[in-house]
Structure formats: structure tokens, C-alpha cells
């Protein structure tokens, strides 16, 4: 029997996340600071505050209604508790701040203390859903763990915070019982109930079936999809198609093992085209109280990369170094035919890069940017130099300075006359 905790009398404020999801608005549950730590990264307290504030600013004044920032796991150590507390205090009003904890009375009390008093504060309890996970996490049956979790939800509500539950390993639980579990937890006071594909092994059709089976009146479901098979985004989209509106994600996908859905990818996909959004969410979809400012995404991604050491690659979707870059002839002449979106939506100015695949048109354009006007004949000569240079140096991109030095040399010898 779970022993209850006693609180001073506290009034739980309006649950803006539950309210938003019930109005069919999308809420991002940001995990870069919390689950990202399980991905072998560490965000300092100051950076967590900065990230929370700037992510909330993507939605303006509606940040708390569109972003829950999972600030950390207070039970880890005193420093982690303090980091969570700083986010709760210093990012108040920018986002809804959450602390995550195990399903024990001591952890719940500590989590509540870390965020209590902050506007829109939340606590998430992790409760096992499958029999195997229940034995490992709690040494109980899944039913016993669920009952204990429900009692803790009721207790935690007395701390004046909104309380959510993550059903760990829901993807391997009895899906026929998930709706009953979700109803029981909601009746105990849970604002949102997450169904987690904890091991990232779910296929999209299975995710769709799980969320469809778990739907219940009065229950707000959420998705937490790991990316071990590269299907986290696809599984999250299936949850959204099934009516889920609270979805876990993480900047750059950082999280345990192969990570979660990448925040920048999910947010951009849901916002960059209204017609595509309706395909994903339904013809009558109105997913935002305030539409997101997508131009903020690249800067946020770069900041997270710098803080965590997780690199942005040329092939990273949406925010990678290859976005908006052109290096070959036909894409240079007709870029609209070779890109799924205008990079300007992200505030990115398209750029031309010299590689061994450069055409004479590409070489001429780069030369003009560097202050050199090339005749067609000189452009062909320069193109041959660029291709040879790439192979000599053993990497594709020829940097502007090397090309400028080459062109200056031509000018100095009079070969451009």
C-alpha cells in the first residue's frame, strides 16, 4: 500500500496543457534536458533556462500552452534538483515546466518541491505498464504498480501542481487494458497519460492500433516514441492521426540510446504547410493558439548542438548544414525543383558551395560573390581547377578562401584580361 504524502493546502491552477490538448491544439513535451541526459549529454542549469525561454518564445505568449519543458529528474542529485528548480523559477511564464520522477512517495515529494509555486508547474510519474517492466521497476505486477501510481497521483495533486503519468513500455503491454488504465489514472487526477514505446521497437501500424485502442472519454493521451528503429517520427504521426495532441520530442533527437523524435523535425513538419497539416491532423485542424515562429529553429538547434556536443550534420533534416545549399548545375538553375520547402521559412538564405560536382554556372556565381567576373572560357578553366582541387585535398568542398586565392592569382598574372 502506497503511503500518502501530506501537503500544506494548495490550489491546483488551471491545467493549460490538458486544456490545449482537449481543444485539439498541439503540445510539445520537450525532453532534451531530461531524456537527453540518458543520451549521455548534460545541460547546465543556465542553458536549461535559456532553452526553455527560447523554446517558449517560438509560440510567443502562448508558450506555456504549447510547450512543456521537462527540466530534469530531481532525484538524481542535489545539483539536478537545483537545475530543475532554476528552470521552474526563471522560465516561469515562458513554458510549462515539468519535473520527472519514479513512482515512489519520496521521489514525488522531491519532484513537487522542485517546481512548486511556479505557474503551470507539472510533475510526471513514470509507472510501468507491461508485466516485464513492472517486475524490473517495482517488483510488483503491472496492476499493483498501476494502483500505487494512481494513489501517488492523488497525493501529488495536493501539492498544487498538475500531475501526469508516463506508462512505461506501453507498447508491450496489454493494449486492451490501456484504456482502463488511462481512465483510472485520469480519475485519480492525472492531466495527461503518456503511452511510451520505451524500447523504440514499435512499427507505425502498431502505434496506430495502440492509440486507437487506448482512447477513452475524458482521457488526454500523449505519445513518447523512441527512435531505435528510426521510426519515432512515423509512430508519433500515427499517434497524431489517432487524435493525440501531446507529443514528446527532443532537440536533435537526443535521448536514451538512439533518441526520440527530433523537436525541430516534428514542429516544422506540423507547421510549414497548412495543407500538409490538414493531411496529418484532419481537415478541421487548428493546431496552434499562436503559430510557431519557424525562423527560430536553426538557432535553437545550433545552441543545443554546442551545449551537448551532438553535431549538426550535412544530412540532418530541417536544421542541418546542408539545408539551403546548392553545389550542382541544375539545382542551381532551378532550386524550386530540388527542395521540399523554401529555406526562407527557416530564415535561411540559400548558399552556393563549390565541390567537385560544380558546373560552370556554379563557379561563375561563386566567383561573382568573391568579386571576380569570369568569362565563359575562364569559368571553364576555374571549374577544372575546382574539381582537381577537391580530389587533391581528399574532400568535396573547396572553401571560398582557397578559390579566392586562385582567382587573385589569375588576376595578378593577367589571365582574366
Three-state SS string across the chain, please?
CCCCCCCCCCCCCCCHHHHHHHCCCCEEEECCCCHHHHCCCCCCHHHHHHHHHHHHHCCHHHHHHHEEEEEECHHHCHHHHHHHHHHHHHCECCEEEEEEEECCHHHHHHHHHHHCCCCCCEEEEEEECCHHHHHHHHCCCHHHHHHHHHHHHHHHHCCCCEEEEEEECHHHCCHHHHHHHHHHHHHHCEEEEEEEECCCCCCHHHHHHHHHHHCCCCCCEEEEEECCCCCHHHHHHHHHHCCCCEEEEEHHHCCCCCCECEHHHHHHHHHCCHHHHHHHHCCCCCCCCCCCCHHHHHHHHHHHHHHHCCCCCCCCCCCCCCCCEECCHHHHHCHHHCCCCCHHHHCCCCEECCCCCCCHHHHHHHHHHCCCCCCHHHHHHHHHHHHHHHHHHCCCCCCHHHHHHHHHHHHHCCCCC
| 1: in domain | no
* Predicted pLDDT at 416: 41
354 — pLDDT class (breaks 50, 70, 90): very high
Answer yes or no: is pLDDT of 1 > 80.
no
Question: How large a percentage of the chain has pLDDT more than 90?
Answer: 75
**Cα-based distances in Å from 150 to 147, 157, 181, 291, 312:** 5, 11, 9, 35, 41
Based on the fold, state whether residues 229 and 167 are members of the same structural domain.
yes
Rounded CA-CA distance 77/100 in Å is 13
pLDDT above 80 for 190: yes
- Residue 183 belongs to some domain of the structure: yes
**Which pLDDT value is given to residue 412?**
63
319 falls within a domain: no
Task: Say what the pLDDT of residue 266 is.
Answer: 97
Average pLDDT over residues 168-186: 93
| pLDDT tens digit sequence for 299-310 | 999 999 999 999
Q: What is the mean pLDDT of residues 335-349?
A: 85
> Could you list the residue range(s) of the whole structural domain that residue 387 is in?
324-417
Q: Give the range among 37-46, 136-145, 327-336 with minimum mean pLDDT.
A: 327-336
Instruction: Please say if the pLDDT value at position 243 is more than 70.
Output: yes
136 vs 62, residue with greater confidence: 62
For 264-315, write each residue's pLDDT tens digit: 999 999 999 999 999 989 998 899 999 999 999 999 999 999 999 999 988 8
Q: What number is the average pLDDT over the span 333-341?
A: 80
Supply the pLDDT for residue 414: 59
Give exposure, 334-343, as e/b (b: 16+ Cβ within 10 Å). eeeeeeebeb
Max Cα distance, the chain (Å): 90
Q: Which of 93-107, 322-336, 381-395 has the lowest mean pLDDT?
A: 322-336
User: What CATH number corresponds to the domain at position 164?
Assistant: 3.20.20.70
**Does one domain contain both 280 and 335?**
no
Better-predicted residue by pLDDT, 125 or 134: 125
> Both 394 and 301 in a single domain?
no
188 in the same domain as 112: yes
Give a yes or no: residue 378 inside a domain. Answer: yes
- Classify residue 361: in a domain, yes or no: yes
Q: How far apart are alpha carbons 341 and 274 in whole angstroms?
A: 13
Contact yes or no for 232/260 (Cβ under 8 A): yes
Q: Structurally, how many domains does the chain consist of?
A: 2
User: What does the pLDDT look like over 68-97, one tens digit per residue?
Assistant: 999 999 999 999 999 999 999 999 999 999
Final residue in a domain of this structure, among 249, 277, 308: 308
333 in the same domain as 204: no
> Given this model, what pLDDT does residue 398 score?
93
166, 274: one domain: yes
Q: Which of 308, 336, 363 is the last residue of a domain?
A: 308
Query: Does residue 313 lie within any of the structural domains?
Result: no
Please tell me which residue, 411 or 403, carries the higher pLDDT value. Answer: 403
278 and 367 belong to one structural domain: no
Residues 261 and 339 in one domain: no
Q: Which three cell numbers stand for residue 221?
A: 493521451
pTM equals 0.90
Examine residue 7 and state whether it is found in any structural domain, yes or no: no
Same domain as 367, residue 250 = no
State which of 275, 308, 341 marks the end of a domain. Answer: 308
339 versus 203: which is more confidently predicted?
Answer: 203
In a domain, 4, yes or no: no
The pLDDT score that the predictor gives to residue 26 is 98
What's the pLDDT score for residue 2?
44
Is the model more confident about 325 or about 145? 145
Q: Are residues 360 and 293 in the same domain?
A: no
Looking at the structure, do residues 290 and 332 belong to the same domain, yes or no? no
Residues 357 and 299 in one domain: no
Amino acid at each position: 500500500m502506497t503511503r500518502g504524502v501530506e501537503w500544506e493546502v494548495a490550489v491546483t491552477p488551471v491545467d493549460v496543457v490538458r486544456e490545449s490538448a482537449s481543444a485539439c491544439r498541439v503540445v510539445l513535451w520537450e525532453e532534451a534536458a531530461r531524456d537527453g541526459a540518458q543520451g549521455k549529454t548534460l545541460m547546465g542549469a543556465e542553458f536549461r533556462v535559456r532553452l526553455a525561454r527560447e523554446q517558449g518564445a517560438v509560440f510567443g505568449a502562448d508558450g506555456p500552452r504549447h510547450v512543456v519543458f521537462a527540466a530534469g529528474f530531481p532525484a538524481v542529485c542535489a545539483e539536478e534538483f537545483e537545475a530543475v528548480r532554476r528552470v521552474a523559477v526563471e522560465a516561469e511564464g515562458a513554458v510549462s515546466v515539468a519535473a520527472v520522477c519514479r513512482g515512489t512517495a519520496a521521489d514525488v515529494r522531491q519532484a513537487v518541491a522542485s517546481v512548486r509555486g511556479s505557474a503551470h508547474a507539472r510533475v510526471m510519474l513514470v509507472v510501468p505498464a507491461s508485466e516485464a517492466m513492472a517486475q524490473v521497476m517495482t517488483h510488483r505486477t503491472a496492476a499493483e504498480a498501476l494502483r500505487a501510481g494512481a494513489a501517488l497521483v492523488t497525493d501529488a495533486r495536493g501539492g498544487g501542481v498538475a500531475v501526469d503519468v508516463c506508462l512505461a513500455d506501453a507498447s508491450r503491454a496489454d493494449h486492451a487494458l490501456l484504456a482502463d488504465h488511462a481512465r483510472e489514472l485520469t480519475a485519480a487526477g492525472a492531466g495527461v497519460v503518456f503511452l511510451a514505446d520505451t524500447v523504440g521497437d514499435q512499427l507505425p501500424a502498431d502505434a496506430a492500433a495502440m492509440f486507437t485502442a487506448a482512447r477513452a472519454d475524458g482521457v488526454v493521451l500523449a505519445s513518447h516514441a523512441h527512435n531505435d528503429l528510426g521510426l519515432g517520427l512515423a509512430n508519433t504521426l500515427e499517434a497524431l492521426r489517432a487524435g493525440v495532441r501531446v507529443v514528446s520530442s527532443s532537440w536533435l533527437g537526443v535521448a536514451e540510446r538512439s533518441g526520440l523524435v527530433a523537436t525541430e523535425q516534428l514542429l516544422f513538419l506540423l507547421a510549414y504547410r497548412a495543407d500538409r497539416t490538414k493531411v496529418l491532423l484532419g481537415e478541421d485542424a487548428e493546431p496552434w493558439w499562436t503559430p510557431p515562429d519557424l525562423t527560430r529553429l536553426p538557432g535553437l538547434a545550433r545552441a543545443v548542438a554546442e551545449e551537448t556536443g551532438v553535431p549538426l550534420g550535412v544530412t540532418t533534416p530541417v536544421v542541418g548544414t546542408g539545408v539551403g545549399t546548392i553545389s550542382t548545375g541544375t539545382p542551381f538553375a532551378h532550386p524550386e525543383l530540388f527542395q521540399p520547402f523554401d529555406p526562407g521559412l527557416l530564415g535561411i538564405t540559400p548558399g552556393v558551395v563549390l565541390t567537385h560536382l560544380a558546373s560552370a554556372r556554379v563557379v561563375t556565381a561563386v566567383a561573382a560573390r568573391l568579386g571576380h567576373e569570369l568569362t565563359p572560357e575562364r569559368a571553364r578553366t576555374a571549374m577544372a581547377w575546382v574539381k582537381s582541387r577537391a580530389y587533391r585535398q581528399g574532400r568535396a568542398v573547396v572553401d571560398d578562401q582557397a578559390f579566392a586565392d586562385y582567382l587573385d592569382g589569375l588576376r595578378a598574372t593577367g589571365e582574366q584580361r
